[in-house]
Amino acid sequence: MKSNLRVISILFLGLNFSLGAFCQETEDSSQPFDTIIKKSGVRIVGYVKGKTKFEIIFEIPGQKDPQRINNDIIKEIRYGNGTIEVLEAKSGKMTKEQLTYSEKDWTSVLVANEGSDLSGFREKGEIQIEYTATKINADNASLERNGIVLLRKKAASIGGKVIKVTSKHVTRQYGEFPSIQMKAMVYGVD
């Protein structure tokens, strides 16, 4: 009799817990789920709550505490709104699709980060640009974005596939438009 009572109480608690987990209303209940796909193929369904340079912070429905996962083991994130973010390509390893664009197409030139693995690429040389803003109140990020575009265009003209910025210097003088000077190494697959 005691064992039957114990089994019934365990079932009752389990049912109560599972109903509580599924019926719990959160602020994100109307939002579609995000899917994190690991490099191993394992899918994690939940809500991405934040990202840092090294990890993704996400919430799994039914769990109170947010989970963290290292970026190195994530292949891609498929957000509920339809956006797909590929993290594997950001690790510095280039895929075949990224390398098959036209040599003159500057939009296919990739910008390597500091720790990117550029093995398999051959150094083609160093390029430099100078960009002067058209607004006196242009911020540094805007100057750098425009400088990167010019570097990518110059790299495409010499058949480069990847650039790695080696130096940048912003100049702001009173009453003058701000400017940026940038240098980058160009890498190709030849």
Domains of the chain: 30-91 (2.30.30), 96-188 (3.30.110.70)
Alpha helices, DSSP H, located in the chain? 2-23, 96-99, 140-157
Residues 72-103 pLDDT 10s:
788 888 888 878 787 754 444 444 444 444 44
- Residue 163 burial (CB count, 10 A): 25
Model confidence at 130: pLDDT above 50: yes
Q: Tell me, yes or no, if the pTM score tops 0.75.
A: no
- pLDDT of res. 104: 59
User: What's the rounded Cα separation, in Å, for the pair 23 and 153?
Assistant: 54
Edge-to-edge, what's the strand order for the sheet holding 74-78? Answer: 67-70, 55-59, 43-51, 34-38, 74-78, 84-86
In 3-state terms the chain splits into helix, strand, coil percentages (rounded to 5) of 30, 35, 40
Q: Is 115 left (phi over 0), alpha (psi -120 to 50) or beta?
A: alpha
64-77 confidence digits (pLDDT tens): 888 888 887 888 88
Q: How many CA atoms lie within 13 A of 67 on its CB side?
A: 15
Mean pLDDT along residues 110-114: 83
Q: From residue 67, give the alpha-carbon distance in Å to each of 34, 72, 82, 84, 112.
A: 14, 15, 22, 20, 29
Backbone phi, psi, residue 95, to 5°: -90, 165
> What pLDDT is stored for residue 56 in this prediction?
87
Distance CA 82, CA 90 (A): 20
pLDDT band at 165 (very low <50, low <70, confident <90, very high): very high
Residue 24: the pLDDT is: 43
Tell me the two tokens of residue 109.
């030139």
